[in-house]
A and B are shown apart, each in its own frame.
Chain A
Amino acid sequence: DGGITQSPKYLFRKEGQNVTLSCEQNLNHDAMYWYRQDPGQGLRLIYYSQIVNDFQKGDIAEGYSVSREKKESFPLTVTSAQKNPTAFYLCASGMGGGYRDTEAFFGQGTRLTVV
């Protein structure tokens, strides 16, 4: 089955630690995305990647880093520089801005809690 998989579902981090969230897709999509969602809020774009070895900052990139070494994978690292990392993180993939087949599909999310 084609899809997008995030792991883990729940993650706990001590203050001052870096942590990496995994995202893998087998939909053959060119583009991948990371969003942050806070309680009762919408989705805010952290980073996105249109192609392997290339990525762009979204609206709230500070304190986060990404890599795109393979088309299927787009891991997100939440660094100690992120002052308020507790949130729900969503990964998505899609083909982007054309006139057809432009749907984005989401993983099941990772809930990160700083303890």
Chain B
Amino acid sequence: GQQLNQSPQSMFIQEGEDVSMNCTSSSIFNTWLWYKQDPGEGPVLLIALYKAGELTSNGRLTAQFGITRKDSFLNISASIPSDVGIYFCAGPYSGTYKYIFGTGTRLKVLA
């Protein structure tokens, strides 16, 4: 099945550093969703984006809906140890009830 491509696949960073990750698709999306999954738990919605070019923040997290509508970006500022986890992007196929998920970016923060 089709998936969204996320990069990087994994990253180790030092506490306090900023983090950037992105998600790309060959198809246009009308909505971009970003989730975080802690080990052994279900993904939790972080940010939802609805308009091309939109920039939305949630605390230290900032996400952007790409102008082409084929990509999205997530930034985490001043990372802390509890930022550890897997970050997924996702989007619903336009006009359908089906969600497509990215391959995930695994973040590890070194104290």
Contacts and interface: CB of A to CB of B under 8 A. Distances in A.
A88 B42 CA distance: 9
Interface in B23-71: 30-31, 33, 35, 40-45, 48, 50
Interface residues of B, number: 29
Nearest to B96: A97
Contacts of A102: 30-31, 33, 48, 92
A63 interface: no
B43 to A, nearest CB: 5
Contacts of B104: 41-42
Contact of A50 (B43, B44, B97): B97
Interface in A30-82: 30-31, 33, 35, 40-45, 48, 50, 58-59
Interface residues of A, number: 34
A92 B88 contact: no
A40 B10 CA distance: 11
B30 A99 contact: yes
23 contacts: A6-B42, A41-B104, A42-B3, A42-B101, A43-B43, A43-B101, A45-B98, A92-B99, A94-B97, A94-B99, A96-B92, A96-B99, A97-B30, A97-B92, A97-B93, A97-B94, A99-B50, A102-B30, A102-B31, A104-B45, A104-B92, A106-B42, A109-B42
Contacts, number: 77
A98 B91 CA distance: 11
Contacts of B31: 99, 102
Contact of A42 (B45, B50, B88, B92): B88
A100 interface: yes
A86 to B, nearest CB: 15
Contacts of B93: 97
A31 B96 CA distance: 10
A41 B90 CA distance: 15
